[in-house]
Every structure is written in C-alpha cells, then in structure tokens.
Chain A
C-alpha cells in the first residue's frame, strides 16, 4: 500500500447558501417522515399490495448503494489489482460508500413496516434462511461496519491519534478484503431478488443473469461516481482536475461499460425479450433510453482523445450513472407489473424523502471533506491541464 501522498481537510465555511438549500430539503423530508412514522406507510406513500416497494427501495437503496460502490471499486483497483497510482481517489470513494450505504440502510428502516424489529438482524437464531433478502441484509449490515473501520484512519489523522492510526493500519488489510467481497455479494444478490419476480418483470429485464448484470452495474456506477465526484468537487472547490488519473480511469470505465452493454443486450436477445422493445409502451421507451445512455457513455469514453477532456469524462460518467440508475429502476419498478390493475407512482412525500436522503448525502460530504483529511493535498506539481 503505497501512500506517498497526503490527504488534507479542505477547510472553509460550512454554512453557505447551497448548504442551507440542502438543509431545507432535509427538513421537508423530515416532515414527511414524521407523517410516515405517526400515521404509517399508507398515509405517506402510494405503496400498495401490488407495489410494496416504491422509490425508497428502488432509488434510495438499490440505486443509492450502487452509487456507494465507489469505495469498493477503487479498493479493488488499488489493493487487489495493485494499481497504487489511483490511491489518491480511494479515500473519497470510500467516504461516499460509507454515506451511500448508511443512508441506504436508513431508507430500508424507513420503508420497513415493522421497523422497530429491525435490530433482529443481529440475532442469528431469528434469521429466516429461506429469505432471498437475508443475505442482502446481512451483507449490507456487515459492510457498513467494515466501511466505518476502513474510514477510521482519516478520523485518527485528523485528531492526531498516531498510535491508533498505526495499529489499525496493521489489520486494515482484512477489512479492505472484506470491503471488496461483501459488496460483490450483496450487489449481485439485489439482482437475484428480482429474478424471483418471475413473469411479473418484463422479459426486457427478466433473466437468470440479473445477478451478473447487477454486479456489472455496481462496477459501472462505482467507477462513474468516482469520476463524477472528482470533477464536480474540482469545479466546486476550485481545485485542479485530476485528469492524469481520470484519463486512465476513463479507459477502465469505457471497457467495463462495454462489457456490461454487450452482456446485457445479448442477454435480452437470448431470453427473447427484444421484440417487446418495439411494443411502443412506456417500458419500451424506458428500455431505449437506458440503451442510448449506455451508447452515449461508450461514445464519450472509448475514444482515447476524448478521455483527456474533463467535459467528455464528465458526460461519459453522467451517462454511465444514468444508465445504471435507469437499469435498476427499470428492474425494480418500471419493468415490473404485478397484474390485476395495480399501479404506482411515487407520492410527493416519497419524492421529497428521496431528495432529502441525497441532500443529506451531500451535506455529509461537504462537512467531511471540509473537516477531515479526505481529499488529497494538491500542489503545483499535480495541477494538470
């Protein structure tokens, strides 16, 4: 583990106008959540028996944790594939993972009908070994703990606890290993959960390879969110772009995206779902948008010349994120039809809570990068382009 560079807090004022804007969104979400916890899910959401899962699961958890895969894909790159040069981006990725998963778990607690029994996951004798969700729940629970441990060095550095920093460094490799293994397990399990929906999921998405697709989208979205955050935080905090690393990372992103694209759409043809793409309904439209976003990502990232441009890397990363976002939303909501007349569109309250969770994510991000050594220190030598 070569850690030749330094991380440093950004410093600066925390409470800025955009920060206040985000807090307002969180307050609105809190009001809706009060309604949810006082009067129940039925009062605050449009959920029904046909759609027991709405956007709180589909977006906040399934997509939110995919956006939180930045930490695991960077750890895989740096520590498993031994590409030490990406290390400066690893800690930021780790932190977004920590927030992504913690907030995903929060979303699950909000969505659980009997949330007060959620702590039962800690007691093995209460586990339901036949539930496809058990593995996912256990993995996410364990992974959040692993992420906290992985992030501890930043906290120790900030408060000058050198001895603690040195000690945790010795055992950190175990947690790093777990930190790669666990997300691969539960991200693929999120695909397995949808396999059991059977015919209720349109053949445009239903497949026995959903497990693989969800693992691949975890990779595409994980890398894309790292690039996306790198560029947006460079813009926001007026730091130089990390183009020397981003350019190389874009190459990886392009190939991962291409692999997913090929596997995904060959699979649609294999299961015979492709003719439904011409059905002209909302599902077909959503299928084509998802496909075009994938094409867009590959076109932006594949040509070597474009990888030097922050604009195209940003566009490519955005397309990749949206492609994964829409793919998972399609699998969990848009492509899903329980039959017999059930319908679902999120209520305003549900949308506000989802926005609030993402706003909280950014609030935490701002608070952490300004006060803890998360982003790497910049010097004149690193300023590129």
Chain B
C-alpha cells in the first residue's frame, strides 16, 4: 500500500477545504496525503495518517502549548520515548499539542500564527509546558523566538495558562544555563513568574512519565498533584534515589566501587565513593528507569554515579565525582577494601620464633623431667631454671 492510498473512514474531517491558507493552501486530498506522509516519516502505520488528520481538525481535547527557551530539546526527546501511552496516543487522542517547536508540522509565521490564534481561543484553559531556562540579562535578548524574547513569551503565555508545568531541570531551577558563570542570568520559570503556581518536573531529562502523569492528573482532577517544598510532584520526587536504589544493600554493607572498572565496580557495588548524588537527590529513577527498559537504563543501573540533575545546587553545580552529602543515613567513616586481604602465609620470622618457643618448651620440659628424677632438690640447684617456665605455658 503506497502512502497516498488510505482505506479508512474519512467522514469526520470537517470542512478542510474551507480552512484556506491554514495549511499552506493545501486542498483536502493534499492534506490527507501530507498527514499520511508524516505518519510514514514517524514510522507509523499509514492508516494513522487519517487519525493525524482527524486530530489536527477536531480539537475537542485539552490544548497544550509547549514553549522552549534555553534548552537542548532533550525534554521533548524524552517525551518521544514514552510508550504508555505512546506519544501519538498522547498528542492525537489525549491532548491537543498545539505548539511545540520540535514537533510542529508547521513552521515560521504559520506556526506562530496558529499558536496565537489557539491561545486566544483557549485563553484561561490551556496547559503551558515550558522547557529550558529563561535568560533575564539585558531584558532577555539572549533567547528570541519569532522576534520576541523568551522572557516576554513566557510571561504573556503564563497569563492565559490554567496550569504551568516547568519541564526539565533548566525550567525547574535553572539547570545547566544557570550554572556558573551564568552569562545570560538564566533563571527558572518560577523565578520569572512570581505569584504563579508552577509545577516543576526536574530532570535532565526527566522521565517522560513524570510529565505525562502530571499533565493527565491536572486534566483529570482539575488540580495539581501533591507537591513538595520545591513544587515537585511528590509521587515522583517524594523519596531519595538512595532509598530505592538497587545498589543500596551494597552501601549499607560498606561495599563500594572505588574506581571505574575495579573489582567492586564490576560486581555492581555502590557508586557513592565515585560521587553518586543519589543520597541527596530526590527522584524516582530507580523505580521506573528510562525507556521502559527496567533498571538497565538509568545512570546508576549502567554503572555511572547519579549526578543529581533533579536537585538544585547539586546537578551542574557539584563536581560529578565529588561525594554527596548523605541526607538520610551517614555511611561509616571507615570502609573495607574492595578486594579484602585473605591473609598471608607464615613469615620467616614468625616461623623461627614459633619453632624457638616450641623447641624451648620441649627442651625445658625434658630438662625439668630429668632433674625431677633426682628428688629432693639438691642444694646446688639454681633458681634460674624457672626461666623456662613461660615456654612451657605457650
């Protein structure tokens, strides 16, 4: 089946031909062809092109706008690697992702125009997801999109947002752009939006499920999930990585990898001494891992120390291999060696000394026994003979 020939219900497309200019002047047939092409490009079944077309025109789902500032796109990338729900289920069936610079079909003025139009239409109702830090130096001129500074875009979009979610470490607490010397005075979203409630989903990148769960939670219940004092959802950031780490037993037993590739590292021992920040970092990485691949794919599971990306002041601030401040249980001050010594054999000195002691004991015993034959002791008997007594004891 070639990309253009789709056997699927097409009755609900609405008046596509009336949507003049919005899709670059495409007519209905061309638009369907395009959507199927997009589906093929995403590696999806061509039949999904019809659903994309449907989704693009039937916008009854909650609108979501995703703005990116000083970001690396990692946060969008992580969303693409979600599998339950898959990203196409998410953006086609569950939400209406009306703007995301990476995932937008349109580009340039077209995309910006659609964003403004949709925002106006959904003013006060939409979910605003922000990734990347906000540069504030020189009025934020160091990050501009469509002629507007990011600072300006964030502030204006935030006015109409029902929910604001800061996705990733940069948006949550500044992340790597905010680390020293911070030339653009990059700040977290919550810092440039005083008075607004911002739900932070830190991580570099965060697990997509932490975002999805938060988005679906606010859409389902109409309120934010329970948050900790850093505005992170407690369901994901309630416990130390350390407390759920699969290597925790090694920490408690004092078994530590001391170098990459040493015996302890190969045995999968605790990475605390290699600088793992798990003991001071709150996140659910050890429980859910990444890429739906279990514990094989999170940093500690791969044998690399956690660097504390979800924790302000830890990730991108402390050196990766500096030891963490343990929040909960402090480790012992002394650690056993990685390869415990098994003891050495008999040394020449010890052998000579033991042989001497045994020999002296036997000799002294024999001398004493022979003297005892001549009882009672004679007057010429010298008391010095009892110097042999220690040997008889030992």
Interface residues of chain A, those whose CB is within 8 Å of chain B, are 16-18, 21-22, 25, 46-51, 59, 67, 228, 231-238, 240-241, 309-311, 314-315, 318, 321, 340-348, 351-352, 354-355, 358-359, 361-362, 383, 385
B345 on interface, CB distance cutoff 8 Å: yes
6 contacts between A and B (CB under 8 A): A17-B384, A22-B387, A234-B377, A235-B372, A235-B386, A236-B386
The answer for the CA separation of A138 and B353 in the assembled complex, in Å, is: 34
The answer to whether B372 and A314 touch across the interface, beta carbons within 8 angstroms, is yes
Interface residues of chain B, those whose CB is within 8 Å of chain A, are 336, 340-347, 349-350, 353-354, 357, 365, 368-373, 375-377, 379, 381, 383-387, 389-390, 392-394
Which of A18, A47, A346, A347 is packed against the most chain B CB atoms within 10 Å?
A: A18
- Which of B343, B350, B381 makes the CB contact (< 8 A) with A351? B350
Interface SS majority for chain A: helix
Across the interface, which residues of B come within 8 angstroms of A358, CB to CB? Answer: 390, 393-394
Across the interface, which residues of B come within 8 angstroms of A50, CB to CB? Answer: 342-343
Q: Top 9 nearest A-B pairs by Cβ distance?
A: A18-B387, A236-B386, A311-B372, A345-B346, A48-B343, A343-B343, A348-B349, A310-B372, A358-B390
Across the interface, which residues of A come within 8 angstroms of B370, CB to CB? Answer: 311
The answer to whether A237 and B390 touch across the interface, beta carbons within 8 angstroms, is no
The answer for the CA separation of A93 and B370 in the assembled complex, in Å, is: 25
The answer to whether B369 and A311 touch across the interface, beta carbons within 8 angstroms, is yes
The answer for the CA separation of A346 and B347 in the assembled complex, in Å, is: 9
Report how many A-B pairs have Cβ atoms within 8 Å. Answer: 114
The answer for the CA separation of A363 and B358 in the assembled complex, in Å, is: 21
Q: A347-B347, A348-B350 given as contacts; is B393 within 8 A of A67 (CB)?
A: yes
Across the interface, which residues of A come within 8 angstroms of B389, CB to CB? Answer: 232, 236, 362
Across the interface, which residues of A come within 8 angstroms of B385, CB to CB? Answer: 235-236
Task: Considering the complex, give the chain B residue whose CB is closest to the CB of A25.
Answer: B390
The answer for the CA separation of A231 and B364 in the assembled complex, in Å, is: 14
Across the interface, which residues of B come within 8 angstroms of A238, CB to CB? Answer: 377, 379, 381, 383
The answer for the CA separation of A266 and B34 in the assembled complex, in Å, is: 94
Q: A50-B342, A343-B345 given as contacts; is B365 within 8 A of A318 (CB)?
A: yes
Across the interface, which residues of B come within 8 angstroms of A314, CB to CB? Answer: 368-369, 372
Across the interface, which residues of B come within 8 angstroms of A51, CB to CB? Answer: 343
- Which of B343, B381, B386, B393 makes the CB contact (< 8 A) with A344? B343
Across the interface, which residues of B come within 8 angstroms of A348, CB to CB? Answer: 347, 349-350, 353
The answer to whether A355 and B357 touch across the interface, beta carbons within 8 angstroms, is yes
The answer for the CA separation of A311 and B376 in the assembled complex, in Å, is: 11
Across the interface, which residues of A come within 8 angstroms of B341, CB to CB? Answer: 48-49
Across the interface, which residues of A come within 8 angstroms of B371, CB to CB? Answer: 235
The answer to whether B345 and A345 touch across the interface, beta carbons within 8 angstroms, is yes
Across the interface, which residues of A come within 8 angstroms of B372, CB to CB? Answer: 231, 235, 309-311, 314
The answer to whether B349 and A16 touch across the interface, beta carbons within 8 angstroms, is no
The answer to whether A347 and B350 touch across the interface, beta carbons within 8 angstroms, is yes
Task: Considering the complex, give the chain A residue whose CB is closest to the CB of B348.
Answer: A348
Q: A18-B387, A59-B394, A236-B385 given as contacts; is B373 within 8 A of A311 (CB)?
A: yes
Across the interface, which residues of A come within 8 angstroms of B369, CB to CB? Answer: 311, 314-315, 318
Task: Considering the complex, give the chain A residue whose CB is closest to the CB of B337.
Answer: A49
Q: A232-B368, A314-B372 given; name 11 further pairs at CB < 8 Å.
A: A17-B384, A17-B387, A314-B369, A318-B369, A321-B392, A347-B350, A348-B349, A351-B354, A352-B353, A355-B357, A355-B390
The answer for the CA separation of A67 and B281 in the assembled complex, in Å, is: 58
Across the interface, which residues of A come within 8 angstroms of B345, CB to CB? Answer: 343, 345
The answer for the CA separation of A310 and B346 in the assembled complex, in Å, is: 38
The answer to whether A342 and B342 touch across the interface, beta carbons within 8 angstroms, is yes
The answer for the CA separation of A234 and B381 in the assembled complex, in Å, is: 11
The answer to whether A235 and B368 touch across the interface, beta carbons within 8 angstroms, is yes
The answer for the CA separation of A236 and B388 in the assembled complex, in Å, is: 11
The answer for the CA separation of A67 and B393 in the assembled complex, in Å, is: 8
Across the interface, which residues of B come within 8 angstroms of A355, CB to CB? Answer: 357, 390, 394
Task: Considering the complex, give the chain B residue whose CB is closest to the CB of A344.
Answer: B343
Which of B384, B385, B387 is packed against the most chain A CB atoms within 10 Å?
A: B387
Which of B336, B343, B377, B379 is packed against the most chain A CB atoms within 10 Å?
A: B343
Nearest-neighbour CB distance to chain A for B193, whole angstroms, equals: 55
The answer to whether A48 and B340 touch across the interface, beta carbons within 8 angstroms, is yes
The answer to whether B342 and A48 touch across the interface, beta carbons within 8 angstroms, is yes
Across the interface, which residues of A come within 8 angstroms of B383, CB to CB? Answer: 16, 18, 236-238
The answer to whether A318 and B392 touch across the interface, beta carbons within 8 angstroms, is yes
- Which of B342, B349, B375 makes the CB contact (< 8 A) with A341? B342
- Which of B344, B379, B384, B386 makes the CB contact (< 8 A) with A232? B386
